[in-house]
Amino acid sequence: MAKLESFEKLVSLAKRRGFIFQSSEIYGGINACYDYGPLGVELKLNVKQMWWNAMTREYDNIVGLDAAILMHPKVWEASGHVAGFTDPLVDCKKCKSRFREDTLSEESMQSRLCPECGGELTESRQFNLMFKTQMGAVEGTASTIYLRPETAQGIFVNFPNVVDTSRMQIPFGIAQIGKAFRNEITPGNFIFRTREFEQMEMQFFVRPEESDAWFETWKERRISFYDKVGISQENLHFKEHGPDELAHYARAAFDIEYKFPIGWSELEGIHNRSDFDLRQHEEFSGKSMTYRDPQTNEVYTPFIIETSAGCDRMTLAILCEAYEEETLDDGSVRTVMHFHPRIAPIKVAILPLVKKGGLKEYSLELRDKLKRQFNVFYDEKGAIGRRYRRMDEAGTPYCVTIDFDTLEDHAVTVRDRDTMEQIRLPVSDLHAWLAERILIS
């Protein structure tokens, strides 16, 4: 059972089956930007749905938000991004390659020679990762604004609005899914590090003295979440940020790392942000960001526990986890994506053995019934074996085959993607059988 050793094979499967394409491919592509194809978009939607449910449905004290990508430029002064959201950049004077200084080897740092061509490296300079743009029609009078580099600030600035309108009382959380943009110096590794990506962030507002306990609770809740999307715990671990690695806002920080083919790498960050963000916004906006306890009338600035996951990175981890090349008894190799049925892009394939003799009509009727609840794919072309293999690569957990006996006995063959075992089921039981195994919970 061969698992994934590099991203190369995954990139090719992702393109072949319509999960992920290079952005603007017909123009030669644009670096580190990707488009999700018909299967990819379904997979990513399921990932988002699972995360959203795990936050806003599972806990009564978490509500949602969808803030604008473009925000008042002062937000980014208050947050510290204008002054400090930078990476140290060095250039090679000879081949013009660019590097993040902190990713260079000890040897290159000391010799100041470029690892690729041996050329001399420039001194490092701080490079701000925020994308700038102009707001307003008249150039010159227009103001410079930023594409948000994280979704979190949209939550912080809406804290008073949510308190005033939602009846939430501390402790409570605000969850948001949305795009973020970073002009990364060294993007790469497929969709691991891109310049446009989606975040799934939840900020949990707590009493300061309870923040350490809530931090532990959220660490546990977040790592166990990954079972739901089919990522095994043995491929996950926590990595603590040491005192010299902590971001300016953080009191404590742990990453959840996944064992990607490139090695253990960050999937999600969990941070105790203290009262830094609310205090900063209070200072820069002049508006109160405090909370009044309705029982005691005590007024204080809450601490924030943040859980910040990358949707694309989680999707990549799910793709890596699912990928397998299996050598069969006859020596042939089948590539199969073992997605958890809940997040598989296509849940059921309906495959008439042949098009003729009423099988097509029977199959289409069945498809129309099932598609009200599941994402169903109908395929009538080619040999049945080849159709199964296609569905294995798409990660479809169940294939339902309709043959001539079906017309007589109203039973269908259901093939399991992982075991390739086939069972015969009365068509009247099919819906309930599938629902038990597939429905998002």
Which residues sit at the interface with ligand ATP, rule CB under 6 A? 150, 182, 184, 193-194, 197, 199, 266-269, 308-310, 312-313
Tell the smallest beta-carbon distance from residue 333 to ligand ATP (Å). Answer: 31
Tell the smallest beta-carbon distance from residue 238 to ligand ATP (Å). Answer: 13
CB 416 within 8 Å of CB 397:
yes
Q: Of 185 and 400, which has the nearer Cβ to ligand ATP? A: 185
Q: Of 182 and 251, which has the nearer Cβ to ligand ATP? A: 182
Helix axes 8-17, 384-394, angle to 10 degrees: 120
Token pair in block for residue 218: 């959220």
Tell the smallest beta-carbon distance from residue 219 to ligand ATP (Å). Answer: 14
Sign of the C-alpha dihedral, residues 320, 315, 374, 364? negative
Residues 6+ apart with CB under 8 A from 157: 67, 71, 75, 281, 285
Give CA–CA dist 289/208, Å, rounded: 14
Tell the smallest beta-carbon distance from residue 112 to ligand ATP (Å). Answer: 24
Question: Can you give the three-state secondary structure of 357-397, one letter per residue?
Answer: CCHHHHHHHHHHHHCCCCCEEECCCCCHHHHHHHHHHHCCC
Tell the smallest beta-carbon distance from residue 339 to ligand ATP (Å). Answer: 20
Instruction: Give the largest CA-CA distance in the chain.
Output: 79
**Of residues 129, 150, 179, 128, the one with CA closest to residue 271:** 150
Q: What is the dihedral of CA 131, 21, 3, 390, to 10 degrees?
A: 160
Tell the smallest beta-carbon distance from residue 365 to ligand ATP (Å). Answer: 43
Query: Cα–Cα–Cα angle for 219, 220, 225, nearest 5°?
Result: 100
Q: How far is CA 71 from CA 91, 146, 181, 196, in A?
A: 32, 7, 13, 17
Q: Of 79 and 199, which has the nearer Cβ to ligand ATP? A: 199
Q: What residues form DSSP beta bridges with 147?
A: 70
Give CA–CA dist 280/78, Å, rounded: 5
Tell the smallest beta-carbon distance from residue 353 to ligand ATP (Å). Answer: 44
Tell the smallest beta-carbon distance from residue 193 to ligand ATP (Å). Answer: 4
CB 104 within 8 Å of CB 91:
no
Q: Of 255 and 403, which has the nearer Cβ to ligand ATP? A: 255
